[in-house]
Structure 1
């Protein structure tokens, strides 16, 4: 831009007189006191840039100055022709007129160059061109040309500050009639720089030096702030000495101290909650852990198997509440609200159940054996029912097998001799010729529900067979928590503007895992259900969801772990629980999750309970709480024959701080061969697995060798294939194979002392070298769990286990090799002292005569009795 340059006194001029005078004030003073005096008002640089309005072709750029006087007109002889020194330009740092970086070629009044209404242009020096006249005519209006002096310089100046000085004749410091301070004017050649700022530089005086007291920035509580405010006021207002609590000044001081305390606490809290290691609020810890892909669990409700007995067939709806008899004070039949108010432990059924008399109690059938005991690990049994009753047992039903007490009552029986089982196939009807009036059903249940303790199903009583164990079939799963209906969050109404973050009026919101059972044939990928009765009592707290549901009159709002996967139209919310049990609700922002409708009213249904307090003992749940139709409960009794399990308290924050950083480094996807083997071994039907990479000629294949607990059926392979599809690396196929089983050939010569029975000693040696579980709970030397894939069998272990038998004096090993090895290989193994296996091989030595391919142990007993 082109225009006036109004330079303040802080510009670095080249004269001490200019540096010490404020030109604006001097102009005002001269105009008011001595209006006859003249001076320089400002200096205008005519840039004549091509991209600016009024450009004149042929005229120089940044070399023409228009010196505007205060009053004018320009006096005769003020101009300067070529070589005249009456108009000089000095740099800001150099005032020597003999070392000027910018020289003046000529200086003429604007009237002499272009004329005005009263004066025509004058004939001037040949250095003045028509382009110069055209530039001045365009830039200087005709009304002010009489008080404008046009100066042409030899070169354009730089970006530093310059001073234009007007001299009088014979070297006088100022022309006649000029104020000497105003005969100088600072200016800059770069006035048309692209800047929106004011070119004038303003100065402010430096603040006075004051002594700053030493402040304690940690003293920011209420008392410290109040003391410091009173000390400061004592300095500012020494006449105010009233320190009464009723004084308005003291009230304001205390108010400001209180607000400062609150602000300081908030400032410290924000800085503290910004890091996982220092955060105190559980919500902050949970969000930091989520950034590390670690999910913090909020606890889990306990589960229990409830056994009902009824005198009439009926259907109980889901959510039927039970509690302990006598745990709710008062008379009459209590309700759920009564139980919640009294703090009783309440369980609610997870599914509807059809109660029938035929399922009340089924006697286990012993086929006439008066002392039959089902051993540990049993997965099948028989029950008998009269032909007049049909329990309608199907695959997927859950039964509780329990020993009765000496009186024939369940309450008198041993609680450790009970087991919940889930049938994995439909019962098969059998016929017992000795009991023609009763139907015998063969039951078979899931392998995970195998008996964990012996179960006596009959006992002698006066020479007759008496039932000692029964099966309860009116079984339903229940979890800890009491439902609250008709309540509302606080506040219940969504505001017109701002975020809606209500909180629950009650604490101890229940968190539970969805209790849908899985199909009988196996747990499909992504199914939240349980596969066996044992698995049902072991819920994963990380899959627990808040037992809460909101309704705004138009839609239901359901809880989610987070809103990252929710669209802007899905009514989802997040429940954030603090250490004290209070909970807040967080809704979406119309991008991740739906935003609640303004001014809508929220109602909710939720459940209270959960945590480890729900792990109650046996027979602790024996009272049904009041239902809308109590007539249906006549003749219905309930109990929990097994203790409740699975209740977990919320994960402690210190544990999250320790585990969350480690979980970030845990690889969930299968990348290496060890990853594929580790993922395959997570299935309960796989004892161990090993994987290796193979190139097919076109792509890589991970060959995973499995060592299953039983037979590797198609269901197991389907489950593993579906699991690997989610975890495998793109472009890598997975091939499942069985591991190679290597049978062993072992021959021992055992020497006994004279007092040891040979037959008993031989049986004990075969037991310690077997592949089964011994009666005392120990495992034999060749049990599959003791022989991992690729592990070696040492000769020293074989001798040590054999010598542990009492009465054994000496052991000599004749053969210690694989089945089929020659004598030279046997001698090499004996000399080496161990049998080595490849990573895909496992040794077996079951010593089963009907299965010689599983290995054998030959014993030669010498001595003894």
Structure 2
């Protein structure tokens, strides 16, 4: 019988004691004890059974027969293979490890004893095994010998043989537990000159000197080490009272060591970008890699003002959110600083604005259409006024907010998702409508950058069937950004020292950073996209002689330039760094600069529409009566300071940014950085005298006719082009298509309705819901193929289309380039375009050369 491989963690195996107990001493103790009479393993003999050795028996296995000799004997009855375990082995070979016990019998059962005959048969025992036991044991000793047959001869490591009690638990009855196991090796054929006895003597431990912690760098550790040292040098001084002069000196030295260690650690950590912890250090390391770390940016929004009289509102006028109803009422004028410190939100106007009552609210005009709606993508609208009303004096560059009215006739209760700000790109055109009470009509137009993102309902049908206008244009609009002004505050420390570096800090935290881009932009949407990379600190210093303005650094500042660098830390504190007389002006000793700065910025300024509801007083100016403010659009663009972990990741890559264009791909990549460009490709061609880079640009549809786009791209390419290389801009090569599909109309639908739906689906403009038509210019760019499967899928998505026929075989169906013979486009399932070609099918009757899509309807009339 073969026992399973024992689990070393099995509780029945117990703990291996052979390496922790002096077996010889334990054996002598057991042999000398008669009460109780204990038994145990005296020795384990491995029968080599090698040819030529005494007792060799042919047919018996080598090194697999173990003779376990007991101290007293006889072998307990019932001790068999299930009560024997062989543990150990290091070789990962399933033929060697584990070593299993195949059978275990007393020696007198195999070879007979003095007064007993052999037992026959015994499972697993062969005649060779019996002869082997006869030759290696005497008849008088066999009663105290257990013969064990193992499954293998093991490896060279030391094994442990354990005798277990009934059921494989504990030790056999009458056995001493330490002597119920013994260590042995199978490699008896390889004798060794070394003593196999394990030395369990405990060697003496050498006395060592006290452990000195050379990493002790804080106050407590340094104080302890200094007192230990003093106790060694002056053993008679045992006073540890804090008032003792010696203890005081030790504590002073420990405090100084703590500060020096902190400085050393700080210098080592701040010296590298990967370990620096202060924002100032990370900012300077990143600047060396040509990466500018930003400190956040203030949010922007459009404020709408309403007034009963003409009012000029200066730049910097604060507007705040409504006060907390639970807060006590203010006893005096509320300032921007009061609101900020109380946790409110303050925005300040970016430009001076003239508020006129005629601009409070202009009604959109529907020309009598009771269901008029400005579609998504619209760039024009009409407003109307009565002849006796004051002229709103709208001009190019004015910003208007188009908004639907709510059920109560208020803008703030209308749908906020349909409000949109536009900037007029031309002066309004005056029209007249004799059929309307408001007969003076102004036609407004704005650029494609401000195209409506969603449809705007202008009028709805009244109960009498007339058109009731439900949308207005708000024209008293001014841009504002997040932040409240603190004026005339002293710095900390207030005075410039003599002969020392002046590094003051602002007394308040939360300095605002804002994009210095001009307020007058090409579009209203562009004004609400501030760039945190170009944001500067909203700070101004005055030392009674000159005004100091913030700069990102002083590398380009002259020795007389009144520039200052603001360095903000993670806790919001801002320190100021002045020039040294070489890079930037040095402040005059003894002067006391005062700071005017703004508090705010970050994502806290991204407030929702209708949040800003009150105007605040400024020093020396009060809010005129009857003047109200609100923000119908949400504030956007607020960004928190850039995390240090992000700078560590991005700054090394900024150093690898290429600021020149060498290959054609470089020129195309530079052109595509312009947000108005959908895609660009470039090629190098010979002009007849020299090489030139021809850059073909595919602009976005809403900027296709904007002359500012090619001018901006040419300016950027001019800076990055290689010397001796000309750069030319080219328009895409538009490829008109001719597509004729056979469309079967499903029962229950009219052909005219299906034709109109297909015309909308395959149009080159925007659909009424704001989605692009299939052939919208922004859906195709250079080298983009038209797949027949996409055309069929779009047609099948139209309700009422049963199936679609395609082909180009003389049946009237077409899928090809306009004016070209078929070239296997249907078989390939696509119309390919070259690298500078753009596919188009405008289906414009006035311009048939731009391609067309025609459905051949079949089925119901």
1:266 to 263, 267, 273: 263
- Structure 2 residue 805 is the aligned partner of structure 1 residue 811: yes
Deviation per CA, 1:8-46, whole angstroms, max 9, x where unpaired? xxxxxxxxxxxxxxxxxxxxxxxxxxxxxxxxxxxxxxx
For residues 811 and 446 of structure 1, the distance between their equivalents in structure 2, rounded to whole angstroms, comes to: 41
Taking the TM superposition and a 5 Å limit, the aligned residue runs for 1:6-17 are none
Note if contact 2:395-2:424 (Cα within 8 Å) is conserved in structure 1.
Answer: yes
- Name 1:580's counterpart in structure 2: 571
Residue 762 of structure 1 deviates from its aligned partner by 4.2
Taking the TM superposition and a 5 Å limit, the aligned residue runs for 1:43-62 are none
Question: Compared with structure 1, are the counterparts of its residues 472 and 809 closer, same or farther at alpha carbon in structure 2 (3 Å cutoff)?
Answer: closer
Note if contact 2:682-2:695 (Cα within 8 Å) is conserved in structure 1.
Answer: yes
Deviation per CA, 1:43-83, whole angstroms, max 9, x where unpaired? xxxxxxxxxxxxxxxxxxxxxxxxxxxxxxxxxxxxxxxxx
Question: Compared with structure 1, are the counterparts of its residues 813 and 316 closer, same or farther at alpha carbon in structure 2 (3 Å cutoff)?
Answer: same
Further displaced range: 579-588 or 659-668 = 659-668
Residue 599 of structure 1 deviates from its aligned partner by 1.6
Question: Compared with structure 1, are the counterparts of its residues 642 and 437 closer, same or farther at alpha carbon in structure 2 (3 Å cutoff)?
Answer: closer
Note if contact 1:493-1:602 (Cα within 8 Å) is conserved in structure 2.
Answer: yes
- Name 1:849's counterpart in structure 2: 845
Taking the TM superposition and a 5 Å limit, the aligned residue runs for 1:174-573 are 215-327=212-324, 329-331=328-330, 332-388=332-388, 389-435=390-436, 438-463=439-464, 464-518=466-520, 530-573=521-564
For residues 709 and 611 of structure 2, the distance between their equivalents in structure 1, rounded to whole angstroms, comes to: 38
- Name 1:828's counterpart in structure 2: 824
Structure 2 length as normaliser, TM-score? 0.71
- Name 1:722's counterpart in structure 2: 715
Residue 757 of structure 1 deviates from its aligned partner by 4.5
Residue 289 of structure 1 deviates from its aligned partner by 0.7
Note if contact 2:616-2:623 (Cα within 8 Å) is conserved in structure 1.
Answer: no
Partner SS for 1:704? strand
Note if contact 1:348-1:482 (Cα within 8 Å) is conserved in structure 2.
Answer: yes
Taking the TM superposition and a 5 Å limit, the aligned residue runs for 1:124-139 are none
Residue 845 of structure 1 deviates from its aligned partner by 1.5
For residues 854 and 262 of structure 2, the distance between their equivalents in structure 1, rounded to whole angstroms, comes to: 80
Partner SS for 2:401? strand
Residue 297 of structure 1 deviates from its aligned partner by 0.7
Taking the TM superposition and a 5 Å limit, the aligned residue runs for 1:670-749 are 670-708=661-699, 709=701, 710-749=703-742
- Name 1:618's counterpart in structure 2: 609
Deviation per CA, 1:569-595, whole angstroms, max 9, x where unpaired? 100010000000001101111111111
Residue 766 of structure 1 deviates from its aligned partner by 4.2
- Name 2:786's counterpart in structure 1: 793
Residue 444 of structure 1 deviates from its aligned partner by 0.6
For residues 736 and 390 of structure 1, the distance between their equivalents in structure 2, rounded to whole angstroms, comes to: 44
Question: Compared with structure 1, are the counterparts of its residues 805 and 445 closer, same or farther at alpha carbon in structure 2 (3 Å cutoff)?
Answer: closer
Residue 469 of structure 1 deviates from its aligned partner by 1.0
Note if contact 1:751-1:810 (Cα within 8 Å) is conserved in structure 2.
Answer: yes
Structure 1 length as normaliser, TM-score? 0.71
Residue 736 of structure 1 deviates from its aligned partner by 1.1
- CA RMSD, aligned part only? 2.2
For residues 446 and 350 of structure 2, the distance between their equivalents in structure 1, rounded to whole angstroms, comes to: 22
Question: Compared with structure 1, are the counterparts of its residues 767 and 266 closer, same or farther at alpha carbon in structure 2 (3 Å cutoff)?
Answer: same
- Structure 2 residue 660 is the aligned partner of structure 1 residue 669: yes
Deviation per CA, 1:607-648, whole angstroms, max 9, x where unpaired? 111111111111111111124566661111111111111111
Question: Compared with structure 1, are the counterparts of its residues 757 and 467 closer, same or farther at alpha carbon in structure 2 (3 Å cutoff)?
Answer: closer
1:597 to 583, 588, 602: 588
Question: Compared with structure 1, are the counterparts of its residues 591 and 390 closer, same or farther at alpha carbon in structure 2 (3 Å cutoff)?
Answer: same
Greater Rg by CA? 1
Further displaced range: 707-716 or 280-289 = 707-716
Note if contact 1:803-1:811 (Cα within 8 Å) is conserved in structure 2.
Answer: no
- Name 2:73's counterpart in structure 1: none
Note if contact 2:375-2:769 (Cα within 8 Å) is conserved in structure 1.
Answer: no
Note if contact 2:297-2:601 (Cα within 8 Å) is conserved in structure 1.
Answer: yes
Residue 851 of structure 1 deviates from its aligned partner by 2.2
- Name 2:600's counterpart in structure 1: 609
For residues 437 and 714 of structure 1, the distance between their equivalents in structure 2, rounded to whole angstroms, comes to: 36
Residue 387 of structure 1 deviates from its aligned partner by 3.1
For residues 424 and 834 of structure 2, the distance between their equivalents in structure 1, rounded to whole angstroms, comes to: 39
For residues 627 and 463 of structure 2, the distance between their equivalents in structure 1, rounded to whole angstroms, comes to: 34
Deviation per CA, 1:478-531, whole angstroms, max 9, x where unpaired? 11111111201111211110211111110000101125234xxxxxxxxxxx32
Partner SS for 2:339? helix
Question: Compared with structure 1, are the counterparts of its residues 340 and 597 closer, same or farther at alpha carbon in structure 2 (3 Å cutoff)?
Answer: same
Question: Compared with structure 1, are the counterparts of its residues 480 and 670 closer, same or farther at alpha carbon in structure 2 (3 Å cutoff)?
Answer: same
Residue 282 of structure 1 deviates from its aligned partner by 0.5
Note if contact 2:311-2:356 (Cα within 8 Å) is conserved in structure 1.
Answer: yes
1:772 to 765, 775, 791: 765
For residues 383 and 746 of structure 2, the distance between their equivalents in structure 1, rounded to whole angstroms, comes to: 49
Note if contact 1:752-1:810 (Cα within 8 Å) is conserved in structure 2.
Answer: no
Question: Compared with structure 1, are the counterparts of its residues 804 and 635 closer, same or farther at alpha carbon in structure 2 (3 Å cutoff)?
Answer: closer
Further displaced range: 379-388 or 494-503 = 379-388
Note if contact 1:750-1:812 (Cα within 8 Å) is conserved in structure 2.
Answer: no
For residues 583 and 372 of structure 2, the distance between their equivalents in structure 1, rounded to whole angstroms, comes to: 62
Question: Compared with structure 1, are the counterparts of its residues 617 and 686 closer, same or farther at alpha carbon in structure 2 (3 Å cutoff)?
Answer: same
Partner SS for 1:531? coil
For residues 781 and 612 of structure 2, the distance between their equivalents in structure 1, rounded to whole angstroms, comes to: 44
For residues 515 and 412 of structure 1, the distance between their equivalents in structure 2, rounded to whole angstroms, comes to: 33
Residue 828 of structure 1 deviates from its aligned partner by 2.5
Deviation per CA, 1:254-307, whole angstroms, max 9, x where unpaired? 221121112111111111111111111011111111111111111011111111
Partner SS for 1:257? helix
Partner SS for 2:790? helix
Deviation per CA, 1:814-841, whole angstroms, max 9, x where unpaired? 232211112xxx1522333332221110
Deviation per CA, 1:330-356, whole angstroms, max 9, x where unpaired? 235412332233232111111111111
Residue 317 of structure 1 deviates from its aligned partner by 1.1
For residues 313 and 472 of structure 2, the distance between their equivalents in structure 1, rounded to whole angstroms, comes to: 23
- Name 2:627's counterpart in structure 1: 636
2:639 to 643, 648, 656: 648
Note if contact 1:312-1:357 (Cα within 8 Å) is conserved in structure 2.
Answer: yes
Partner SS for 2:296? coil
For residues 319 and 588 of structure 1, the distance between their equivalents in structure 2, rounded to whole angstroms, comes to: 29
Partner SS for 1:730? coil
For residues 555 and 786 of structure 1, the distance between their equivalents in structure 2, rounded to whole angstroms, comes to: 56
Would you identify which runs of 4 or more consecutive aligned residues in structure 1 move more than 6 Å? none
Further displaced range: 217-226 or 542-551 = 217-226
Further displaced range: 843-852 or 602-611 = 843-852
Question: Compared with structure 1, are the counterparts of its residues 753 and 624 closer, same or farther at alpha carbon in structure 2 (3 Å cutoff)?
Answer: closer
**Size of the alignment, in residue pairs?**
641
- Unmatched segments (≥5 aa) in structure 1: 1-210, 519-529
Question: Compared with structure 1, are the counterparts of its residues 830 and 340 closer, same or farther at alpha carbon in structure 2 (3 Å cutoff)?
Answer: closer
Partner SS for 1:410? coil
Question: Compared with structure 1, are the counterparts of its residues 229 and 380 closer, same or farther at alpha carbon in structure 2 (3 Å cutoff)?
Answer: same
Further displaced range: 579-588 or 841-850 = 841-850
